[in-house]
């Protein structure tokens, strides 16, 4: 192996970079201390509704009285801001010292996303691994969320750079929520997610099955992507099952309009399913049932 001698200037540059990384890591630890639960949303493939599930769970947790933030960790294709009705390039307030402030939308969801900082939708982000890590680290280090109960982190599909980076940058990550669709549910996929979480020493808080079925106007039920075995698999592997979200054309339409489906159609099965899922999450991570003060009284 041949070693290359580096100049003093190069050495200084590397040292400065290392110092900056260490300072950012310290800032992340300080900021994350103010957030009780940090949950990343995981899926094995694209387009299964992770981002929709993220905004809906955030809405349901906010309606349940929790202070909620979303970090859009999909650096290449941030979409959360649009689902929340904020145009690309909307901006985020910043202080001269570099601190940035998330944008708050009803019903009390704070959002930090690169999508708010890009000049326009067509701007492609062609960052490779290390730059994506830098972007995520900077977003986590410089965003001032204040005190939060929940920070949900939307991620691109798979178990790659972003997922690893988040798990490394947030050592006390509460865990992952796995989003699947019925056709996608297989033992292999669940096993893969469990192995990934185990390797990182993180827990899987639960599985949510999106696009589970379609209710026809005559009341009959169609299992468009097949009848999912997510619940059975969750049981088999001892992972909490958080519920099924039906296919509803109003979901796509509301997301495209930038309206929170959860607030627009509170009577829909999907909105109710999200409220239940949020209740389960609260029970799992906070260790208490919604509406009961048991845990607070004893703890």
Q: Does 47 bind ligand ATP (CB under 6 A)?
A: yes
Stretch that binds Mg ion, among 24-32, 48-56, 58-66, 121-129 (CB under 5 A): 48-56
Q: Should residue 163 be labelled a site residue for ligand ATP when binding is judged by CB under 6 A?
A: no
- What H or E segment, with its residue span, contains residue 282? helix 269-286
* Binding piece for ligand ATP, criterion CB under 6 A, among 42-50, 92-100, 107-115, 162-170: 42-50
Nearer to ligand ATP, 174 or 255 (CB): 255
Give the span between the Cα atoms of 20 and 246, in whole angstroms. 46
Q: How far is the CB of 18 from ligand ATP (least distance, A)?
A: 33
- Contact assessment for residue 184 and residue 178, using Cβ atoms and an 8 Å cutoff: no
At 219, list the tokens. Answer: 């009341």
Angle at 103 between CA 101 and CA 104, to 5 degrees: 120
Closest CB to Mg ion among 52 and 145?
A: 52
46 makes contact with ligand ATP (CB under 6 A): yes
Q: What are phi and psi of 175, to 5 degrees?
A: 160, -170
Query: Which residues contact residue 103 at a Cβ distance below 8 angstroms, ignoring those fewer than 6 apart?
Result: 81, 86, 90, 92, 110, 111, 112, 116
Tell me whether residue 102 or residue 243 sits nearer to ligand ATP (CB atom). Answer: 243
d(CA 107, CA 67) in angstroms, rounded, equals 10
Please report how close the Cβ of residue 47 comes to ligand ATP at its closest, in angstroms: 4
For residue 165, the minimal CB distance to ligand ATP (Å) is 16
3-class SS at 48? coil
Q: Which of 76, 69, 57, 78 lies closest to 144, judged by CA?
A: 69
Q: Say how far apart CA 27 and CA 232 lie, in whole Å.
A: 42
Ranges within 201-220 binding ligand ATP (CB under 6 A): 210-211
Q: Does residue 51 interact with Mg ion by CB under 5 A?
A: yes
The answer to whether residue 50 forms part of the interface with ligand ATP (CB under 6 A) is yes
DSSP 44: S
Residue 252 touches which of Mg ion, ligand ATP, none (CB < 5 to 8 A by kind)?
ligand ATP
* Residue 50 or 132 having the CB closest to Mg ion: 50
Q: What is the DSSP letter of 217?
A: T
**Region near ligand ATP per CB under 6 A, out of 27-35, 44-52, 65-73, 225-233:** 44-52
Pick the stretch among 26-34, 135-143, 243-251, 276-284 that binds ligand ATP (CB under 6 A).
243-251
**Quick one: tokens of 78?**
């941030």
Q: Provide the binding-site residues for ligand ATP, judged by CB under 6 A.
A: 43, 46-52, 74, 77, 79, 156-157, 210-211, 245, 247-248, 251-252, 255
């Amino acid at each position: 192996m041949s070693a290359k001698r580096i100049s003093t200037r190069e050495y200084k540059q590397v040292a400065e970079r290392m110092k900056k990384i260490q300072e950012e890591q310290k800032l992340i630890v300080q900021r994350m201390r103010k957030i009780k639960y940090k949950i990343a949303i995981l899926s094995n493939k694209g387009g299964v509704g992770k981002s929709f599930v993220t905004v809906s769970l955030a809405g349901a947790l906010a309606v349940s009285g929790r202070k909620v933030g979303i970090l859009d960790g999909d650096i290449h294709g941030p979409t959360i801001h649009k689902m929340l009705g904020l145009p690309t390039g909307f901006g985020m307030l910043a202080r001269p010292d570099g601190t940035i402030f998330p944008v708050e939308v009803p019903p009390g969801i704070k959002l930090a996303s690169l999508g708010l900082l890009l000049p326009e939708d067509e701007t492609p982000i062609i960052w490779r691994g290390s730059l994506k890590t830098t972007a995520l680290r900077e977003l986590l280090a410089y965003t001032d969320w204040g005190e939060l109960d929940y920070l949900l982190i939307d991620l691109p599909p798979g178990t790659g750079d972003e997922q690893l980076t988040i798990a490394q940058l947030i050592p006390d990550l509460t865990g992952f929520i796995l989003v699947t669709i019925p056709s996608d549910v297989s033992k292999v996929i669940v096993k893969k997610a469990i192995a990934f979480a185990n390797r990182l020493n993180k827990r899987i808080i639960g599985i949510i099955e999106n696009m589970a079925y379609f209710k026809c106007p005559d009341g009959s039920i169609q299992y468009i992507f097949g009848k999912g075995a997510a619940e059975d698999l969750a049981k088999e592997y001892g992972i909490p099952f958080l519920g099924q979200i039906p296919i509803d054309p109003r979901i796509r339409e509301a997301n495209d309009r930038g309206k929170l489906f959860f607030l627009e159609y509170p009577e829909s099965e999907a909105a109710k399913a999200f409220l239940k899922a949020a209740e389960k999450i609260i029970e799992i991570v906070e260790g208490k049932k919604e509406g009961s003060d048991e845990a607070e009284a004893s703890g």
